[in-house]
Amino acid sequence: VSAELTAIVGATLIDGTGRDPVPDSVVLIDGDRISAAGPGTQVPVPDGARRVDAAGAHLIPGLMDANVHLVAAIFPDYILQFEGRYEELALEAAQVCLAAGFTTVFDTWGPTAPLVAVRERINRGEVPGARMFVAGNIIGFGGPFSSDFFAADDLIADETRARINEQWERGVGADLMWLTADGVRERVREYVETSGVDFLKYAASGHAVGEMHFITFSAEAQRAIVEEGHRAGMTVQAHTTSVESLRMEIEAGADILQHGNLTGQASIPEPLLDIIVERQLPVAALYYTAAYIAWARENKVSSTYNEHLDHNNRRLIETGANLLLTTDGFAWGRAIRHPKLAKYSDGPDFGINLGDAHVVWLKAVLEQGMSPMDALVAATRNPAVAYGHPDLGTLEPGKIADLVLLDADPLADPENYLRIRAVWKDGAEVDRDALPDPRVLTEPA
Amino acid sequence: VSAELTAIVGATLIDGTGRDPVPDSVVLIDGDRISAAGPGTQVPVPDGARRVDAAGAHLIPGLMDANVHLVAAIFPDYILQFEGRYEELALEAAQVCLAAGFTTVFDTWGPTAPLVAVRERINRGEVPGARMFVAGNIIGFGGPFSSDFFAADDLIADETRARINEQWERGVGADLMWLTADGVRERVREYVETSGVDFLKYAASGHAVGEMHFITFSAEAQRAIVEEGHRAGMTVQAHTTSVESLRMEIEAGADILQHGNLTGQASIPEPLLDIIVERQLPVAALYYTAAYIAWARENKVSSTYNEHLDHNNRRLIETGANLLLTTDGFAWGRAIRHPKLAKYSDGPDFGINLGDAHVVWLKAVLEQGMSPMDALVAATRNPAVAYGHPDLGTLEPGKIADLVLLDADPLADPENYLRIRAVWKDGAEVDRDALPDPRVLTEPA
Amino acid sequence: VSAELTAIVGATLIDGTGRDPVPDSVVLIDGDRISAAGPGTQVPVPDGARRVDAAGAHLIPGLMDANVHLVAAIFPDYILQFEGRYEELALEAAQVCLAAGFTTVFDTWGPTAPLVAVRERINRGEVPGARMFVAGNIIGFGGPFSSDFFAADDLIADETRARINEQWERGVGADLMWLTADGVRERVREYVETSGVDFLKYAASGHAVGEMHFITFSAEAQRAIVEEGHRAGMTVQAHTTSVESLRMEIEAGADILQHGNLTGQASIPEPLLDIIVERQLPVAALYYTAAYIAWARENKVSSTYNEHLDHNNRRLIETGANLLLTTDGFAWGRAIRHPKLAKYSDGPDFGINLGDAHVVWLKAVLEQGMSPMDALVAATRNPAVAYGHPDLGTLEPGKIADLVLLDADPLADPENYLRIRAVWKDGAEVDRDALPDPRVLTEPA
Amino acid sequence: VSAELTAIVGATLIDGTGRDPVPDSVVLIDGDRISAAGPGTQVPVPDGARRVDAAGAHLIPGLMDANVHLVAAIFPDYILQFEGRYEELALEAAQVCLAAGFTTVFDTWGPTAPLVAVRERINRGEVPGARMFVAGNIIGFGGPFSSDFFAADDLIADETRARINEQWERGVGADLMWLTADGVRERVREYVETSGVDFLKYAASGHAVGEMHFITFSAEAQRAIVEEGHRAGMTVQAHTTSVESLRMEIEAGADILQHGNLTGQASIPEPLLDIIVERQLPVAALYYTAAYIAWARENKVSSTYNEHLDHNNRRLIETGANLLLTTDGFAWGRAIRHPKLAKYSDGPDFGINLGDAHVVWLKAVLEQGMSPMDALVAATRNPAVAYGHPDLGTLEPGKIADLVLLDADPLADPENYLRIRAVWKDGAEVDRDALPDPRVLTEPA
């Protein structure tokens, strides 16, 4: 018997595969892996195992968020105020996630170097934190001080703009739109080889600017990006916000459709939806509660939240699309009120803060017809599979031992995901009370 | 002998085909057509013909501009100030062109209804003016009060914006970017059927916004647009401003590459240039004089006028590309100074005013290595062929009788294109001194 | 007996002096004057008089608005769209006012020439319309395309800006702030002598720009302006928006305190209020209904509508200040929605449209404690006295015969001011159904 | 004989009083004071004195700059990037000044707390640096993120704006413009009592916004500010930028006219100039070289640099006004290029960097007719007297021993002020090579 053997005994086990809950279960953790999981009647507790009494509790896999931004410095003031401290912000956010039961998160846009550095420190065990996978820049987007975010060219010195933008762009910024597919390929290859990122995300379409909407890369350029990612063994996802860019992304071979449900002033055509469902293409879809949607409608925040989004979101659930929990969240730790966010954030249930934003998503998908079990799978197994990490996401023998023990049934009420008794990551229990440490942006609960 | 027979006798004939000039020529006009053209020794003057003594003069085809904007109301103030009077502006501009020897112009962006109305009045002979061919909106672009031009959404009431934009957009505005290729096709078809335009122009790429650049329509949508135009017997051209959109336009089958020389932060790749030259795809290319380029460089107007443009322009001439004279001109009739134009217009040789802007173009192409004869062909035969009007553009028997008689040799000095003795359109001499009438924006010379 | 003698018989007379209503009254109109007014028992109806049976109706003086803007072209789009037609707008607005019972209005900011021209046409009897008194520019303010309103210097050509601004500024624009008191005096004198205006309005303080607030003219310059106006027999009023500018205006000798109740982030100090009340300085004060104030508070439109305004408005009524009805109204004739107005106009009871805006004012003052009779006097006698027109404003013998006959008691409900049976101006009955004619901005009821 | 006695022997002494240079001088420093100064023939060198051989050199008083801004973080990016490090910036700047021979500087706008802290550290001898006198905020101006500088309210969170602005405003911000004179007085009194500043500066007029210009405080409020400063024994100066605000400042009793030469679109009236000259009111006037003025004229930077400024500057010299050297300088240490500064800084001789900006000023005043000796006095004695520090500014017995030893004659060429051999402050020689330390914004020479 391994000295490190732990047995979690008596919990209702919901293992992330979608199978029925198992009451009175036993789950054995051996080192960083699960060695057994099942009904207590079938899984004996070895002698010498450290025994965790979990009677009355619910045991689920460590949660996974398919879309976070751990460096919360995304507004002009925060970007500058915290320059040089982005690692601190990233670490704080990774710890906020871990404390909330998210053992793995996928950072889909941020400054590459500090994110990679924090990922390494966590992976080396120097500091606690959610397991991080990092995309760095969205290929084709400029940095924070660019037209894609805040041009600010009348306020910020060129040298400041360049210095900041470079921390995000890393050679795969908006200037790629000037290049041929070959030119794009060359830049992406260099990025793949030198940046240290885990997966790629590219812009198949732009951020809407006013009434405009547009395609960022030609079909050929998109294929070049996907090929370069795959060549390096990376998953590749695309940011899309229109029906045509969504189609192009799929044809280019993207592995994950990042906010594939946002198609602006049109709904996803049924033939395209058929493809998404048949191929079970992972869709990292943002969902909003009925309360938020009603507010957005009344306040004419229609650029994003409109009948087409509503339609897409319902159809994706109805048709059994492969959905991933995604929050697009940040660790501000409080209701930040920023002029650039205000037109969205004034609404109710605006889930943007890591730590509880996922409950908003879970509520919203339930409201729109998803079953509680499917929602749980969307928050565990689906992201693991979509991102190519088959040893994560479920509580089955041989898998990495990432677990969350809840005081109440998560299938009964999404709020119960917050009633955490314990979290294990890589087989070790997390000292949640100590997280985050140090605090930079967040405040004590 | 027709009562309408006119013989122009003694001029040096430069017939627009690129053939050597013919001294001491005779050109016969019978009705609205040329019935003979050649050396006086070979073309006898019929008895009874009205005889025009042209000894010492040069006779060339009526000029053609591949890219004008006859409605000069393109700034917020002008748009509003002249609302309801766009026909007046269009007519004035068509008359300014005609007086300058342009018997045919291609209007590639403007409010459809007034342009079509003026075209019809000219075609019916009710008013004098250059022969007009009209594209209406650039498919995929919003109207003047949109992000493509002047958003102005903090200054202009929504109802005003909508009212103005609709006069340009006519159902094929920027909202097409939200649609699938089929959706785009449907809108374009309706536009073709109802708008009264002569040819199509679509946006393969956008106006650059800040550092951004982008593709407007997917390959499939571009093909749909081209097919719909061709189905209706129209030529189709695309606005492109990057190497990738240029390639896509060509692959979609566009007939004319509108400012195909503008590729922003990259030069046209040689393989793409090879295709352009081999297929002799018409390129309506803006050229700038050395003086202007030097000024633009010094004043960092680099978004448009940079080494890549320089390179493209020289290579297009060197490789013998099929170039069309184009001014992108307006009939303001004077040095307008507008904040939206100032960063360009402060330079020397900024040829934007119809009536003499073409001389700037001609100077510029000569400076960059084109022969005077090729330049003349670019201003006559090439646009006629490119736009599918084989009975225009040259002085050959059977062609429409559009002619310009010059007091000095246009091959010797581009300024000589301004030394006009007479202009015939459709076989009738134009009363140039009476044009334009009435004046709205222009002032007496 | 004059052939023009008219007797209005049987109405309840409310004569504008504040005296009790007189039931069963007789009012005699002889030519353009009132020759008698009183109880039917005391005022016999002369033989031969045209008899108007007014039993059951209420008869009040023609209404007076102390602050209107008859040229409604105040947004960038309207200014340009209607340039050259400002007279039409002014006339339409003057007719809207007259039809609503306003026989006299004071235009306190607008383009001088068209306003003066319309005033003259009305005075000559060529067209119907409210009696107009005109201030032209607010001395010290720039025209519409200036920092005081819409700088728009990135959208509007300099020549357009200059052309438009000059129509408002007439030599007394914002550049006066660069001058000494003597320099200001000289300019004002020329304005008085050449502009044709009836009274002066100057800016004692600026429009607030962001957090800023400021004083426009020094005490010496303000005195110079007042003296020049008085020298020419004009009343002089000031635009003030802070407590200090209000004090300075009073010390400079201004005759009317235009929106003297707006003091921004501070309340009128009691000592200053004492002076205003003791001297019965006329205050043209904007009032808002409780519904609007609640909305403004909730929507943080606090720059203007805050607790200090509330306090001032209540105190002015409590202390018996000399208040004038003022709407700051325009004749758009419908709920215009303009980005520059939207943050105010989205609220309930936003009375900006001439024709019914005054009912909002009347409701608001009643809500805040004014008696119905005082409100009526504020809309009739007070403006007449304040502006120096003692032959207007009341229904007493010898006064100009401006009268409104109402179907219901205006003292019972402010809405009853809209139940107009007939209007007389200068003794002649107005054909209200024919007004306005032509319509430009307004639509048929 | 004091152990601390130092004798500077053999230099040409220019003592700051305006008296003729004294060749072969001896100056004795006893502790922090000058004990003797005069011709070597009259001032014997005491035995035991440390002897500094200064033959061939020129000895002048420590220089004084009447207007610097030691915290160079004044652009949005710098403000945020260096937040928390303003003390470092202030210290670096004070050391840059000292190394350049400025033993005393007057900081007329900046964040109060870090400036006061650095002043104290320097005064306590903990760190080297120019002697600092600090005004803190310009009374009546908002902080950096306000309409007076960069509103930025669409980019910066309210909490960030408030946090930053408070570091500058300290209760005497732009909201004072809403108050009565008594209200202003109360706030200023609290500022005087609690902020730790040395002198007061208030805004008699605003920064020009667009075409506008304006008066910040009424005459009464200005007097209140001046009285409160004087009550506390402080000098009081005003920021003025128009003729009327200049007059008001003088009438309010201001001790120093800060950029009293900037009067915008008008010249200083002669009667006002007479007062300035007669009373010898200190004018801290910005001067520009002919090269810069020519450039500004050509590039239409006319808002500030126009014929009126030219006129004022020449007249101030011609009439013998009491001028103070002023640079308005910052310690960026290099040619910073910021969008908010670019329209000024692109010109030649744009002296904004502390360390050599004063040479530009000196050149400019000489060009405009000042004598080299008067220029030296403007840089030494005049600021000392104006700011009420009679023990500074000249090299006379009893004065503080601040001295600069130059390798070449400063009266022969302003560049010679840069040829520094040694600097003494408070009688101690400065280790100029060690300054600044640490470097933050500046780079090694």
B199-B205-B211 Cα angle (round to 5): 150
Total beta-carbon pairs less than 8 A apart between chain B and chain C: 68
End-to-end Cα spacing for chain A: 40
Check if the beta carbon of residue A249 is closer than 8 Å to that of residue A268: no
D57 touches D9 (CB < 8 A):
no
Residue C391 to residue D197: CA distance in whole angstroms: 62
Best of B75, B81, B163, B341 to substitute, by most chain C Cβ atoms within 10 angstroms, is B81
The chains in contact with chain B, meaning 3 or more Cβ pairs closer than 8 Å, are A, C
Q: If interface means Cβ-Cβ distance under 8 Å, which residues of chain C face chain B?
A: 75-78, 80-81, 83, 150, 152-160, 336-340
Q: Per residue in C39-61, pLDDT tens?
A: 999 999 999 999 999 999 999 99
Mutation pick from D74, D77, D146 vs chain A, by most beta carbons of A within 10 Å, is D77
Q: Indicate contact of A with B: 3+ CB pairs under 8 A.
A: yes
Provide the pLDDT for residue C336: 66
pLDDT at position C1 = 44
> For residue B434, how many C-alpha atoms fall within 13 Å in the half-sphere facing its CB?
7
The candidate with the shortest Cα–Cα distance to C175, out of C142, C218, C222, is C142
Residues of A in contact with B179 (CB under 8 A): 243-244, 266
CB contact under 8 A, D77 and A77: no
Q: Which residues in D lie closer than 8 A to residue C247 (C-beta atoms)? A: 180, 218
Ranges of chain B with pLDDT below 50: 1
Which tokens belong to A423? 């979290």
Inter-helix orientation angle D243-252/D219-231, to 10° = 40
Contact D212 C147 (CB under 8 A): yes
Lowest mean pLDDT among A88-92, C154-158, C159-163, D98-102: C154-158
**CB–CB contact C160 B81 (8 Å):** yes
The C-alpha atoms of residue C199 and residue D171 are separated, in whole angstroms, by 41
Mark yes or no for CB contact D150/A155 under 8 Å.
Answer: yes
Do residue A218 and residue B219 have CB atoms under 8 angstroms apart? yes
Which residue does chain A place closest to D156, by CA atoms?
A: A77
Closest Cβ–Cβ partner in B156, B158, B339 for C154:
B339
Whether residue D154 and residue A80 make contact (CB cut-off 8 A), yes or no, is no
Q: Are A386 and A282 in contact (CB under 8 A)?
A: yes
Residue C208 has pLDDT above 70, yes or no: no
Determine the average pLDDT of the residues in C389-396: 98
Instruction: Pick the closest to residue A411 from A381, A371, A383 (CA basis).
Output: A371
Q: Residue A154 and residue D83: Cβ atoms within 8 Å?
A: no
Closest-CA residue of A relative to B263 is A178
Percent of chain B with pLDDT over 90: 83
Chain C neighbours (≥3 Cβ pairs under 8 A) are B, D
pLDDT reported for residue D1: 44
Q: What's the CA gap between B108 and B240, in Å, rounded? A: 13
pLDDT bracket for residue C389 (50, 70, 90): very high
pLDDT of B13 reads: 98
Residues of B in contact with A220 (CB under 8 A): 244
B178-181 — which CB contacts under 8 Å span 24+ positions? B178/A213, B178/A242, B178/A243, B178/A263, B178/A264, B178/A265, B178/A266, B179/A243, B179/A244, B179/A266, B179/B221, B180/A243, B180/A244, B180/A247, B180/A266, B180/A269, B180/B221, B181/A244, B181/B218, B181/B220, B181/B221, B181/B223, B181/B224
Average of per-residue pLDDT across C76-85: 93
Q: Under a CB-based contact definition with an 8 Å cutoff, are residues D417 and D376 in contact? A: no
- Residue C145 and residue C157: Cα distance in Å, rounded? 10
Q: Helix %, strand %, coil % for chain A, to 5?
A: 35, 20, 50
Partners of A76 on chain D (C-beta within 8 Å) are: 76, 80, 152, 155-156
In order along its 445 residues, chain D shows pLDDT tens digits of 455 799 999 999 999 999 999 999 999 999 999 999 999 999 999 999 999 999 999 999 999 999 999 999 988 999 999 999 999 999 999 999 999 999 999 999 999 999 999 999 999 999 999 999 999 999 999 999 988 888 877 888 888 999 999 999 999 999 999 999 999 999 999 999 999 999 999 999 987 655 567 899 999 999 999 999 999 999 999 999 999 999 999 999 999 999 999 998 899 999 999 999 999 999 999 999 999 988 888 877 765 668 899 999 999 999 999 999 999 999 987 666 777 777 777 788 888 899 999 999 999 999 999 999 999 999 999 999 999 999 999 999 999 999 999 999 999 999 999 999 999 999 999 999 999 999 999 887 6
Contact A243 B151 (CB under 8 A): no
d(CA D299, CA D242): 23
**Residue of B80, B158, B336, B343 to mutate for C, most C C-beta atoms under 10 A:** B80
Q: What is the pLDDT of residue C394?
A: 98
Query: Exposed/middle/buried for D438, CB within 10 Å: 0-12, 13-18, 19+?
Result: exposed
DSSP class of residue D110 equals S
For testing the chain B interface, which of A164, A180, A186, A270 should be mutated: the one with the most B CBs within 10 Å?
A180
The answer to whether the beta carbons of residues D375 and D366 sit under 8 Å apart is yes
Of B217, B244, B263, the CB nearest to A221: B244
Lowest mean pLDDT among C210-214, C408-412, D383-387: C210-214
Question: Are D115 and D138 a contacting pair, CB within 8 Å?
Answer: no
Q: Between chains, do D339 and A157 touch, taking CB under 8 Å as contact? A: yes
In angstroms, the Cα distances linking A260 to A245, A323, B128, B182, D44 are: 9, 10, 56, 20, 91
Please state, in angstroms and rounded to a whole number, the distance separating the CA atoms of residues A54 and A116.
36
**Using the beta-carbon criterion (under 8 Å), do B340 and C81 form an inter-chain contact?**
no
**pLDDT of res. A302:** 63
Give the C-alpha separation, A437 to A444, whole Å.
Answer: 10
Q: Identify the pLDDT of residue D153.
A: 77
The contact set of D with C (CB < 8 A) is 142, 146-148, 151, 153, 174-175, 177-181, 183, 206, 209-221, 242-244, 247-248, 263-266, 269
Cβ atoms of residues C68 and C106 within 8 Å? yes
C-alpha distances out from residue C187 to C176, C199, C215, C229, D261, Å: 8, 15, 19, 12, 24
| Closest listed residue to residue A35, CA positions, set A400, A393, A381 | A400
Phi-psi region of A218 (alpha: psi -120 to 50; beta: other; left: phi over 0): beta
Q: Which residues of chain A have pLDDT under 50?
A: 1
Which residue is listed with tokens 């599918």? B388
Pairing of strands C58-61, C403-406: antiparallel
Task: Choose among B211, B221, B243: nearest Cβ to A147.
Answer: B211
Which chain B residues are closer than 8 Å to C77 by Cβ?
80, 155-157, 160
D99's CB contacts (< 8 A; 6+ apart) are D355, D420, D423, D430, D432, D435, D436
Neighbours of chain A (3+ CB pairs under 8 A): B, D
Chains A and D touch (3+ CB pairs under 8 A): yes
Q: Which positions in chain B touch A180 (Cβ < 8 Å)? A: 243-244, 247, 266, 269
Please provide the size of chain B in residues: 445
Instruction: Supply the angle between the helices A219-231 and A181-194 in degrees, to the nearest 10.
Output: 30
B206, B148 Cβ separation under 8 angstroms? yes
Choose the mutation target among A164, A172, A216, A244 for the interface with B, i.e. most B CBs under 10 Å: A244
Q: Tell me what pLDDT residue D208 has.
A: 62
pLDDT reported for residue C149: 86
Q: Which residues of B touch A181 (CB under 8 A)?
A: 244
**Angle between the A270-278 and A307-318 helix axes, to the nearest 10 degrees?**
40
> Do the chains contact at B153 and C75, CB–CB below 8 Å?
no
What is the predicted pLDDT for the residue at C209?
Answer: 54
Q: Which tokens go with A125?
A: 């065990």
Q: Is the pTM of this model over 0.90?
A: yes
In the predicted structure, residue C146 carries a pLDDT above the cut 80: yes
**ipTM value:** 0.95
All residues of chain C having their beta carbon less than 8 Å from the beta carbon of residue B336 are 157
Q: Which residue has the tokens 């192409």?
A: B365
Report the pLDDT averaged over residues C328-335: 81
C146 chain-D contacts, CB cut-off 8 A: 210-212
Q: Which residues in chain D touch residue C242, judged by CB atoms under 8 angstroms apart?
A: 177-178
Evaluate whether A361 touches A259 at the Cβ level (below 8 Å): no
Asked if residue A177 lies in contact with residue A148, where contact means CB atoms within 8 angstroms, the answer is: no
| Both tokens assigned to B371 | 């022969």
Query: ∠B29-B35-B41 over CA atoms, to 5°?
Result: 95
Tell me if B77 and C339 make a contact (CB, 8 A cut-off). no
pLDDT of residue D338: 78
Q: A302 vs chain B: nearest CA distance in angstroms?
A: 14
